[in-house]
């Protein structure tokens, strides 16, 4: 088994052959992937060496010390955090070889075509249809919504209904969709902040070869659980330093602006600081558990806490700043490449945090997941569980 010493040796070889100071950024990232130092726990030939996941930190530290470029993980987070684990688990050998390398290097951006106007919290009720033609290809028609990075993406992970005659969870199939194909139309969704980091995507007679299907026909819901579990961990379990994220912003204001302080605000800030630190340490523990296998439903709890804390902290920040907190710097329409939960001013952070309890699974749905899959409580009664999708009221 590859150990830390072997990884350090391989990393030094990479740095010697491709000095970061004189090597083109993309060439260096490609060489790193080919050396198995991208995801060390992935199989050989797919960016890894089959090493323990915990040893990734050894490689990252060696490369950071030499000023090596990273792959801008925030920009390609959907590909790294959601598409890649799903492709690794369910993709064919050909799909893995074609898709994983440019995904990791950032040459090809990914987006997620899951939610629909009539299927958000109840995602399994989705109505986008994929019908197989005589040649074996799939013809897809429908509408998706709340799609981050669709205006930048080359590829999308897509779930569509392939059998309306069975209950909703069983008639779904998972595809990889080329966002440059005819019939794919991306429209911006302007948010409360004025930005349009999200999109709605219209699919009109989009032809997807069967070779771009992930998993078996009709097994898309099970495949999608891999994506969704990884998404929740990516949102709620992202590593941050102490006083990183939203709590760091308000803590800095508290220290720099003593004239704003009151005893009541101090007590509330202390409480939120402690909760943020508990959430950070819980995230560390969750990432340690991930080293041993796939993420479980614990990610739902982390994502729940992330949303609640962000909203409470941003609300307190606006209250602390008083009249200043009501100001908002700019309503100009923007199409940002990155989702920035903590950027700009307090007014932006307050408005942007309102979406945290919706994106990546609504808080209400995640509460059910925690109750049923973590705590083992009885499931809610579901009258539509055995009803064919075509017979459901819509």
Q: pLDDT tens for residues 60-73?
A: 999 999 999 999 99
d(CA 94, CA 213): 12
Pair 183, 58 in one domain: no
Number of domains, the chain: 3
Residues 229 and 367 in one domain: yes
> Does residue 183 sit within a domain?
yes
Residues 230 and 348 in one domain: yes
Q: Domain for residue 87, yes or no?
A: no
Confidence of residue 269 (pLDDT cuts 50, 70, 90): very high
CA 115/CA 380 separation, integer angstroms: 22
Q: Give the span between the Cα atoms of 306 and 286, in whole angstroms.
A: 14
Residue 231 designated active-site: yes
Same-domain check for residues 252 and 331: yes
Query: What is the rounded CA–CA span in Å between residue 47 and residue 100?
Result: 8
Of the three residues 70, 98, 118, the one that is the final residue of a domain is: 70
**Region class of 63: left (phi > 0), else alpha (psi between -120 and 50), else beta:** alpha
Residues 253 and 362 in one domain: yes
3-class secondary-structure state, position 239: coil
pLDDT in tens, 13-49: 999 999 999 999 999 999 999 999 999 999 999 999 9
Compute CA 330 distance to the chain's CA centroid, rounded to the nearest angstrom: 27
Q: Is 103 contained in some domain?
A: no
Res. 351: pLDDT tops 80: yes
pLDDT score at 141: 98
pTM, 2 dp = 0.88
CATH of the domain at 330: 1.20.140.10
Output the pLDDT for position 238.
63
Residue 333: pLDDT band with limits 50, 70, 90: confident
Is the same domain home to 281 and 199? no
Of 184, 217, 250, which closes a domain? 217
Which stretches does DSSP call E strand in the chain?
110-113, 129-132, 138-144, 155-161, 172-178, 184-189, 198-208, 213-214
Q: Residues 359, 251: one domain?
A: yes
User: What separation in angstroms does the CA of 170 have from each of 156, 381, 385?
Assistant: 21, 18, 10
pLDDT for the residue numbered 337: 73
262, 291: one domain: yes
In a domain, 382, yes or no: no
**Residue 170 to residue 162: CA distance in whole angstroms:** 9
Yes or no: say if 158 and 177 are a contact pair by the CB < 8 Å rule: yes
CATH of residue 130's domain is 2.40.110.10
206 plus 239 within the same structural domain: no
φ and ψ at residue 189, rounded to 5 degrees: -110, 110
Query: Of the residues 231, 312, 364, 380, which is catalytic?
Result: 231
Residues 213 and 292 occupy one common structural domain: no
62-118 pLDDT, tens digit per residue, is 999 999 999 999 899 999 999 999 999 999 999 999 999 999 999 999 999 999 999
Token digits for 97? 């070889």
Asked if residue 139 and residue 25 are part of one domain, the reply reads no
Asked if the structure places residue 384 within a domain, the reply is no
Together in a domain, 179 and 300 = no
Is-contact 51 38, C-beta < 8 A? no
- Is 345 a domain residue? yes
Q: Are 388 and 164 in contact (CB under 8 A)?
A: yes
Look at residue 262 in the predicted model and tell me its pLDDT.
Answer: 94
Q: Is 392 domain-assigned?
A: no
Residue range 274-307, pLDDT digits in tens: 999 998 888 777 766 655 455 566 677 788 888 9
In this structure, how many other beta carbons lie within 10 angstroms of the beta carbon of residue 75? 16
Determine the structural domain holding residue 321 and report its residue range: 225-374
114 assigned to some structural domain: yes
């Amino acid at each position: 088994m590859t150990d830390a010493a072997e990884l350090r040796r391989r990393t030094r070889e990479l740095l010697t052959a491709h000095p970061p100071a004189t090597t083109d950024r993309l060439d260096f990232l490609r060489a790193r992937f080919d050396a198995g130092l991208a995801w060390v726990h992935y199989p050989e030939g797919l960016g890894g060496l089959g090493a323990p996941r915990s040893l990734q930190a050894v490689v990252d530290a060696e490369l950071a010390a030499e000023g090596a470029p990273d792959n801008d993980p925030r920009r390609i987070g959907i590909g790294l955090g959601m598409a890649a684990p799903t492709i690794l688990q369910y993709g064919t050998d050909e799909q893995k070889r074609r898709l994983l390398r440019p995904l990791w290097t950032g040459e090809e951006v990914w987006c997620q075509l899951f939610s629909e106007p009539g299927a958000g919290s109840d995602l399994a009720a989705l109505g986008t249809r994929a019908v197989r033609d005589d040649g074996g290809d799939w013809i897809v028609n429908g509408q998706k919504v709340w799609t981050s990075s669709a205006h930048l993406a080359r590829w999308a992970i897509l779930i569509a209904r392939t059998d309306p005659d069975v209950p909703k969870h069983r008639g779904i199939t998972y595809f990889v969709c080329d966002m440059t194909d005819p019939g794919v139309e991306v429209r911006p969704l302007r948010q409360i902040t004025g930005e349009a980091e999200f999109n709605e995507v219209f699919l009109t007679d989009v032809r997807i070869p069967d070779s771009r299907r992930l998993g078996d026909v009709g097994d898309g819901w099970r495949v999608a659980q891999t994506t969704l579990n990884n998404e929740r961990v990516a949102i709620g379990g992202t590593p941050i330093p102490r006083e990183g994220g939203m709590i760091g912003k308000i803590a800095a204001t508290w220290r720099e602006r003593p004239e704003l302080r009151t005893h009541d605000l101090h007590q509330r800030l202390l409480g939120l600081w402690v909760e943020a630190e508990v959430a950070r340490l819980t995230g560390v523990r969750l990432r340690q558990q991930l080293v041993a296998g796939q993420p479980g439903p614990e990610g739902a709890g982390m994502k729940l806490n992330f949303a609640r804390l962000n909203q409470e902290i941003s609300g307190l920040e606006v209250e602390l700043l008083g009249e200043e907190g009501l100001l908002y710097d700019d309503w100009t329409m923007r199409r940002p490449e990155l989702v920035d939960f903590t950027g700009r001013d307090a007014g932006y952070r307050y408005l942007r945090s309102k979406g945290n309890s919706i994106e990546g699974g609504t808080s209400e749905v995640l509460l059910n997941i925690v109750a049923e899959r973590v705590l083992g409580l009885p499931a809610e009664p579901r009258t539509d569980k055995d009803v064919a999708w075509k017979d459901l009221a819509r």
